Structure 1
Amino acid sequence: MTLRKLTAALFAVMALVAAMAFGLTNPAAAASVPVHHDFAAEAEAAGLDDDEAEDLQEQVDTHLARHGGTQVALNRIAIADKGEIVLPLPGARQGRASCPAQNFCMFTGTNFTGAQFNLYRCATYALDNWTGNGSWINNQTAGTRARFLDSNRNTIYTTPGAYSASSSYNWNPVWYVVNC
């Protein structure tokens, strides 16, 4: 990690601590955005240069701020008891993950590319900044269907039972996903 990155990370932590101390942020939300560990060895093993690693970390940090969770690998975020987010490495179109068994997987890009959200706990998930066309895979137990809801929580689409998939789906009208 370069001195510039280390200094930036230190200032970010100091700003977060100061904001929490003065009540400028929700402490519960801030507590769910941990300071990430140094994934420099993983970045090096993946062949990323410093700028690529920094860009990927910024993407991870953005998702952590929006969704909470814990960064568990260079491009993976675990969301406690719900699922995980897998981000594509720079230069790759997808996060190098298949849709795990008993998961409903959503992708920000068509043809199962872009950021991948693997949802395994039966719940209603709010979508934050999901626009345009993406894709999904329903790899839950046989026959399980997911529902997509609008801003009023009305069902606008129900997937076919598992296993099913769509390589192109317009996320614009979808505000919530109930994965089971």
Structure 2
Amino acid sequence: MTKRKIIGAVAAVLAATLLAAHPAAATPAHPSAYAVAGDVEAPRKFDPDADVRTGVPNRPDFTARSRTAGLTAAQADALQAKADRYLALLGEPATQVAPDVIQLKGAKLHLTVPGSTQRAPACPYYYFCAYSKEGFSGDWILEEECWVERYIPWTGHGSWINNQTRGTQPLLEFTSGEPWWMPGAYAQQKTGVGWDPVFSITACFHT
């Protein structure tokens, strides 16, 4: 086993242990990321794999481009419905730049077609990648800029890859406000990442 694989394996075990030990907190550190219903605060997170269709796409130009790329009308509608849900949820400077890409501050959010077996590409060198599903699959966030706090909007279990320069540690913050220095690059966690208690991840924060 190579040194990189050994480091990745150790980091994965450590990350799984630490993430499992942090349940969601009742008092959020970032109220803007929460929706309030009566006296109950709930994090604005959702399941990106849910196939929720609008029936009438809000951005017909992107839907047309999806059809040109080979998607069926139903797939194009489902993909745009997902993009619309993200745009409504994030409530920040977020711009849809392609049928399956939303430009965020310091990052890009890549979308998969609901119900498909589409796989995300490998996380490129110098970047941190967070995936909505386990096995480095599902929707994924490519963190492009350093020191930009990136909100993680997902529920359920996913995965991540830290492919920044050697030893660089991202900063993960839980909804409780508690920080955790993630393992230094190169590191990854393929399964068991519980996104519910995670508020944000900031790339290349510490070396």
Q: What is the TM-score when the length of structure 2 is the normalising length? A: 0.62
State the partner residue of 1:125: 150
State the match for 2:88 in structure 1.
65
Greater fraction strand:
2
1:78 aligned onto 2:103? yes
d(CA) in 1 for partners of 2:174 and 2:197?
6
Q: Is the 8 A contact 1:94 1:115 kept in 2?
A: no
Does the 8 Å CA contact 1:153/1:176 hold for their aligned counterparts?
no
Aligned partner of 2:124: which letter? P
Q: Secondary structure at the match of 1:38?
A: helix
Once residues 112 and 94 of structure 1 are traced to their aligned partners in structure 2, the CA distance between those partners, rounded to angstroms, is: 11
Q: What fraction of aligned residue pairs are identical, expressed as a percent?
A: 33
Q: Distance in 2 between matches of 1:79 and 1:37?
A: 21
Q: For 1:22-171, what aligned pairs fall within 5 Å after superposition?
A: 36=59, 38-67=61-90, 68=92, 69-80=94-105, 82-94=106-118, 96-121=120-145, 122-128=147-153, 130-156=154-180, 158-168=181-191, 169-171=193-195
Are the aligned partners of 1:86 and 1:95 in contact in 2 as well (CA < 8 Å)?
no
Structure 1 window deviating more from structure 2 (54-63 vs 143-152): it is 143-152
Deviation at 1:131, TM superposition (A): 2.1
> Structure 1 stretches of 5 or more lacking a match?
10-35
Give the count of matched residue pairs.
146
Aligned alpha-carbon RMSD (Å): 2.2
**3-state DSSP of counterpart to 1:78:** strand
Distance 1:61 1:124 in 2: 22
**Cα deviations by residue, 1:26-73 (Å, 9 ceiling, x for unpaired):** xxxxxxxxxx47134532344211111011001011112223421111
- One-letter amino acid matched to 1:125: R
- Asked if structure 2 preserves the Cα contact closer than 8 Å seen for 1:146 and 1:177, the reply is yes
Gapped runs of 5+ residues in structure 2? 1-54
**Does the Cα contact within 8 Å between 1:78 and 1:84 map onto a contact in 2?**
yes
Considering fraction of residues, name the structure with more helix.
1
- CA distance in 2 between counterparts of 1:147 and 1:93 reads 31
Give TM-score scaled by structure 1 length: 0.70
- Partner-residue secondary structure (3-state), 2:166: coil
Distance in 2 of aligned mates of 1:138 and 1:103: 7
Contact 1:127 1:174 in 2 (8 A): yes
